[in-house]
Structure 1
Amino acid sequence: MHRKLLPLALMYANDGEPIEGRTRLQKMVFLMQKELKQRDQSGVVGLEYDFIPYDYGPFSKELYDDLDAMIDQEFVEDTEEPLHSGKVKYIYEIEDDGEDLVDSEAETWDDVDAIMQLAQEIKEKYNDVLLSELIEYVYSEYPEYAEKSVY
């Protein structure tokens, strides 16, 4: 099982509801990974992203690299939404090939059910909250990741 399953599972959850923003996706994958470790899921070996403290809390370059690869492989679609600030917000959605990959993983790995259930819980809880609330929650639970924050 590959760590790419974490962001794919999040995008797959809630009937493929989009995830708005790179920062939100980073925080949700981070929380999912932390929760899997707390639950001591034995099959999560190889699923870890290396997160470091950064501008808005935990950040993983590996996650960005995996996202780029999944977009190139047409597992994930990213749509750019211009913001008033002149910046761009990325909206991530799982593609049919990404759903097929998740489904095939579910057939071969016992732990995928637990991962999919957790993805559902995380997405239901954090996908629709204000980004500032999500960041504040992550900072309160994991203050060591707020040390380099610009937020």
Structure 2
Amino acid sequence: MDDLRRELNVLAGLSAAPATSFSPVQAQKFFFLCDKEQAAALGGELFNFDAYDYGPFDREVYRMLEKLEHDGYVRIVNPESRYRRYQLTDEGFERGRRQLAKLNGELQGWLEQTSRWVQSLSFGQLVEAIYNKYPQMKKNSVYRFAQG
């Protein structure tokens, strides 16, 4: 997938649920789900995920978000902290919504629903939900499931 197409699809995905921001784990898992469940509709996979410490991970997700920050489309809140958040700027939101509008209605709905779902879960809930649906992604995990 060419860089511009990936960039536009990332912005569309981030803009699907307005006025939100993503933690690092939410961004990783959201784009993993996009690749696993909507790659064909998006014109191909956006990233190349591997099983890592907390499930599917591709460092390129962070590189893309940093590029989008450099281009003025994303704001990284608390960039030096492990509690960083990725949030669209007004310009990034507008560009993302224009791209989102070009996608078919079913895909738009899926992106909106999945974005909200990913952001509604705690770190542990999200990691466990991904492991339950994609058990192959926990093979290198350091995460320990909650007891109960």
Q: Which 5+ residue runs of structure 1 have no aligned equivalent?
A: none
SS of residue in 2 equivalent to 1:92: strand
Amino acid at match of 1:64: Y
CA RMSD after TM alignment: 2.3
> Is the aligned partner of 1:63 residue 2:61?
yes
- 1:136 corresponds, among 128, 132, 138, to 128
On the 8 A contact 1:52/1:145 being kept in 2, the answer is: yes
> Deviation string for 1:49-104 (max 9, x for gaps)?
1001111110112211111100111101110188xxxx521111111221232244
- 1:92 corresponds, among 81, 86, 101, to 86
The match for 1:145 is 137
The match for 2:28 is 26
- Superposed, 1:95-114 pairs within 5 Å as 95-106=89-100, 109=102, 111=103, 113-114=105-106
> Is the aligned partner of 1:126 residue 2:129?
no
Amino acid at match of 2:37: E
The match for 2:48 is 50
On the 8 A contact 1:54/1:148 being kept in 2, the answer is: yes
Alpha-carbon distance between aligned partners in 2 of 1:8 and 1:28, rounded to the nearest angstrom: 12
The match for 2:38 is 36
Alpha-carbon distance between aligned partners in 2 of 1:106 and 1:142, rounded to the nearest angstrom: 27
Please give the TM-score of this superposition, normalised by the length of structure 2. 0.81
On the 8 A contact 1:54/1:146 being kept in 2, the answer is: yes
Amino acid at match of 2:77: T
Q: Between the two proteins, what is the percent identity of the paired residues?
A: 24
The match for 2:76 is 78
Do the aligned partners of residues 148 and 48 (structure 1) sit closer, same or farther apart at CA in structure 2, a change above 3 Å counting?
Answer: same
